[in-house]
Structure 1
């Protein structure tokens, strides 16, 4: 068994081969359920994970997340803000993509440090200026990868792969349908 960066490379390759043979296995649906806690606060819990048509109920309410806004944005600062969760999601996905692709390339990692920043112009959110989008204006990621056996070129290639394969980066960088229905 070949394990690199705590990733079982053979299992990863077997998983990729299974998805190549049966693309339906690569289809996944994540879910969360949320309840308002007053003010700007919400608590969400993980829901059913569906992968390859199979529903995994073991994740239902397994993890809980809360969000709020900082006091500067009139929140009560009891939890990370939704914008911080977006950055966390991107950092998490970058970590998965970096470790997976480093392992597949035989690059041993000693550490990964990601620093993320995002800008927002509240005029868009508040409807003050219709020409300003309400979403994040720009996200910046600084990646510091400690891989003593890798060259600078290998690490630059790894970052290029991250930018092309990170599911969360792709979601943020490209339009995605978001369908909201009133129950």
Structure 2
């Protein structure tokens, strides 16, 4: 097994080859099931994960996720806010994407750090100004990549590729269909 950045490079190549041969193997469906806990609080659990048409029930209720809002935003500050989860999702996806892409290119990372910030204007959420979107206005990601044996230009190209290939970043910067149904 060849590990670069704790990524099994051979497994990555085999996965790429398998998905190239059968694109259905690259299809995945994540799920979460949640229940309101009053106020701004939600408790959710992971649901089944479906990959390549196969449903994996071992993830059902494996992890519990709670959310709330800070007191300044009408919550009780008992858990991470949805906006912070969104930043975590982006940071986590950048981590997976950066480590895997670097490994695929033979770039050995000594480490990296991410700092993320997001701005929101509550006038949109509160319905005060219909010209203000209720969503985040901007997300800023600062990366500090430590790869001493790699020229900065190559790291810049790697980061540009991370921006292009990160599934969560793509979800944030491009419209995605969100279908809501009422039981």
Aligned to 2:170, the other structure's residue is in SS state: helix
Deviations 1:91-114 (A, max 9, x none): 000000000000001111111100
Aligned residues: 183
Runs in 1 of length 4+ with deviation above 3 angstroms?
none
CA deviations over 1:15-44 (Å, ceiling 9, x no partner): 110000100000000000001111100011
TM (norm. structure 1) is 0.99
* Residue of structure 2 equivalent to 1:85: 85
Q: What's the TM-score once normalised by structure 2's chain length?
A: 0.99
| Other-structure match for 2:76 | 76
CA distance, structure 1, for counterparts of residue 74 and residue 147 of structure 2: 42
Gaps in structure 1 of 5+ consecutive residues: none
Structure 2 gap segments, 5+ residues each: none
Give RMSD over aligned pairs: 0.5
Other-structure match for 2:100: 100
Task: Map 1:46-65; keep pairs closer than 5 Å.
Answer: 46-65=46-65
In 2, Cα distance between the equivalents of 1:152 and 1:113? 16
1:154 CA displacement: 1.0
For residues 74 and 124 of structure 2, the distance between their equivalents in structure 1, rounded to whole angstroms, comes to 17
Map 1:1-183 → 2, pairs under 5 A: 1-183=1-183
CA distance in 2, matches of 1:95, 1:162: 9
Q: For residues 18 and 57 of structure 2, what CA distance do their matches in structure 1 show?
A: 22
